[in-house]
Chain A
Amino acid sequence: MALDLSMPILVVDDYKTMIRIIRNLLKQLGFEDVDEASDGTEAFAKMKDRRYGLVISDWNMEPMTGYELLKHVRADTSLAKTPFIMVTAESKTENVIAAKKAGVNNYIVKPFNAQTLKGKIEAVFND
């Protein structure tokens, strides 16, 4: 899958500053079309309305977590193939294994840098 800089990206995080950081990093990488949601419920509703090329989601949110969002997305035939990267402070082995089992494409442990974000996005689209 080729990396398309014009693809819409959905960033999901309940912490506005983190959304702003990821949005700025994506902008530096050349992505201009960045949308946002503050939890899994809002993100899933947005995904039903618009086809995103990539979802970058936090794990720990209320009421719907990023992990639940991932499972909802993979269970929905129209959204199941959407590339999904988890960006989270949840760094226990059980979290990484559960995310992988649920079908996440890559996993970034917070705090992270621009190089890691770029590398993981490229890895997802080079697979």
Chain B
Amino acid sequence: MAQPTATEIGRVVEFLQQDREDVKLNDVMDLAERMAQSLDEAVATTDKMLHAEFRSIAEQISSLKREIRDLRPDQFRFERIPEAGRELDAVVESTQDATETIMAAAEAIMAADASDPAAYKALVDDKMIVIFEACSFQDLTGQRIRKVVKTLSWIDERIESLAQRLNLAETGPAEAVEESEDERRMRELMLNGPQMKGQGVSQSDVDDFFSMSDQEDIDKLFD
């Protein structure tokens, strides 16, 4: 609640400082009237402040709604992300199909009887064509992945733009989020997944490590 102003307090003090030996009903009513006037002014001031605050909050909410509308969340939810998911599913499927075709051809060549050179060559030629045809999947998967990358860039641009307009970058680092069960499993079991080229260790590094016969050298790695 707002504090009474100096003027309001002054009025009450002035009234009480007067010589009041025989306080009558009118005096009490006079005091009550002065108190009521003081309260009216305090409420009026508080009301104005609250009104201004609420109007400011309402404007900020309207602005946020405009920013979110500009972000076109429906496009995210119902178009772009599901479409990217379908593209990636198609990549997995066509890669799987091609791998299956190529492996079946290679296994047929491995199992072929080479005692009849002419028949063996015909079979190898036939399977080689099948392998070449299957490799065409790479063209399609490349196109599909480029579409997914484009979608991710589209989303990234919009989120970046929203963050800039709302000055989110100036609010400091995000608060730590509690680790999920899945994240805990991945950390404890060192499920890091494939590393990018140039990151992680190479087979040669691994071989060097496994060739260490001196226990002290190995122990140093755990220090």
Contact = CB atoms under 8 A, between A and B. Distances in A.
Interface of A: 17, 20-21, 24, 27-28, 59-60, 65, 67-68, 89-98, 100-101, 106-110, 112, 116, 123
Given A67-B190, A68-B189, A90-B191, A112 B203 contact: yes
Interface stretch (B33-41, B139-147, B156-164, B193-201): B193-201
B191 A65 contact: yes
B110 A90 contact: no
Contacts, number: 72
Interface stretch (B53-61, B69-77, B99-107): B99-107
A89 B210 contact: no
7 contacts: A24-B106, A24-B107, A90-B192, A94-B192, A96-B201, A97-B222, A112-B203
Contacts of A17: 96, 99-100, 103
Interface string B196-216: 000011110110011000000
A94 B200 CA distance: 10
Contacts of B64: none
A36 to B, nearest CB: 15
Nearest to B186: A60
Residue of A28, A91, A92, A94 with most chain B CB atoms under a 10 A cut-off: A91
Contacts of B192: 90, 92, 94-95
B194 A89 contact: yes
B114 interface: no
A41 to B, nearest CB: 14
Interface in B57-106: 96, 99-100, 103, 106
Given A68-B189, A100-B210, A109 B103 contact: no
